Structure 1
Amino acid sequence: MFKNLPRHQFGNLQSKMFPAYFSMVGVCCAVSVASFGYLHPWKTSSTTERYQLGFLLSSFAFNLTNLFVFTPMTIEMMKQRHKVERENNIGEEVGWSKNVEVAKSNPKLAAMNKKFGMIHGLSSLANIMSFGSLAIHSWYLAGKIDL
């Protein structure tokens, strides 16, 4: 998409896709937490099973943080940047942006880019942490398979 859509269209598409993605992953995490918690009650579960529940809960928490904190912040910042970019006649190009060049002479856009990068980076980190927690749980489940 990045290589084929104008930047503003790409950003608008992403702003629709990511809330749906984080919602779907959140529902799946909630079902996994509930299922695992039901099948392995805390009082009778082993240390390993308690860790697994912790990994599932952390994945759920990271995902909810993305859905309810970082995604709305990222979308709002993107909309503000799009407005400033339109004022500077940029953003309709496909692929790499002229944004960086314009930001050198536009301190408002430079500040927006910095804030957007920070929020986007935190969102990516939360997504990686969620994925990592699920990967550890998948490793645990794979170890339970007897072929």
Structure 2
Amino acid sequence: MSTEGEPSALIRIIQLFILSTAWGMQIWVTFIAGFVLFRSVSRHTFGLVQSKLFPFYFYTLLGCTFLNLAIFASYHPRELLNTTETIQILLFFISLILTATNASWFSPVTTKIMFKMQEIEREHGLGKEVGPSGQQDAYKLLKEKDAKYQNLRQKFFTFHGLSSLCNLASVICTGVNLACLALHLDSL
């Protein structure tokens, strides 16, 4: 059911606030926080922080994206959508699906695998190094010697890569929607 008329100033402010919150959070978590942590804390601490941060990040992003889609859809009846609005609603929906997939599947699976890898690494005295490791040879040797570790590592990088790809696509969707909104500030 679509809402009649133009959105009020309050609704416009709410949507802009929610969309900019999602965008800012995505930029910070994707391009700043990870790189700072990677260079500042031990490898295992980095994994622990991300295991706590990502569920909150993905579920908050999921909520913001859902609210943005709901607000946008309520003021843009399907029958009256122009090309730009159709693209926007599709981007909100794509972002919603990608974020839900990350929140409910990729992130938990990646975290579970990471903790299993960390157990094996601790047994071999690894994981305390900060930043780009000077112990790359030790990790390579562990991978060659321990088939279980090698299997976990392959799964980890597969799920981590898929999660990163989903997140990056969601960042692009949100960025395009924010740009479209900025170009049409007189309406949602």
TM over 0.5: same fold?
yes
Q: Name the residue aligned to 1:15.
A: 51
Worse overlay, 72-81 or 36-45: 36-45
CA apart distance, 1:145: 4.0
C-alpha distance in 2 between matches for 1:99 and 1:18: 25
Q: Name the residue aligned to 1:106.
A: 146
Counterpart code for 1:120: H
Counterpart code for 2:116: Q
TM-score (norm 2): 0.72
C-alpha distance in 2 between matches for 1:5 and 1:51: 41
Gaps of 5+ in 1: none
Counterpart code for 2:166: A
Q: State the superposition RMSD in angstroms.
A: 1.5
Count of matched residue positions in the alignment of Structure 1 and Structure 2: 146
Q: Is the aligned partner of 1:26 residue 2:62? A: yes
CA apart distance, 1:24: 1.1
For the Cα contact (< 8 Å) 1:55–1:134, is it kept in 2?
yes
Q: Is the aligned partner of 1:125 residue 2:165? A: yes
Which one of 129, 147, 155 corresponds to residue 115 of structure 1? 155
Counterpart code for 1:125: L
For the Cα contact (< 8 Å) 1:91–1:99, is it kept in 2?
no
Deviation by residue 1:94-130 (Cα, 9 ceiling, x = unmatched) = 2225423321222221221111111100000000111
Which one of 83, 99, 112 corresponds to residue 119 of structure 2? 83
Q: Is the aligned partner of 1:70 residue 2:106? A: yes
Q: Name the residue aligned to 1:51.
A: 87
CA apart distance, 1:82: 0.9
C-alpha distance in 1 between matches for 2:176 and 2:130: 38
Q: Is the aligned partner of 1:137 residue 2:177? A: yes
CA apart distance, 1:44: 2.5
C-alpha distance in 2 between matches for 1:4 and 1:46: 48
Counterpart code for 1:76: K
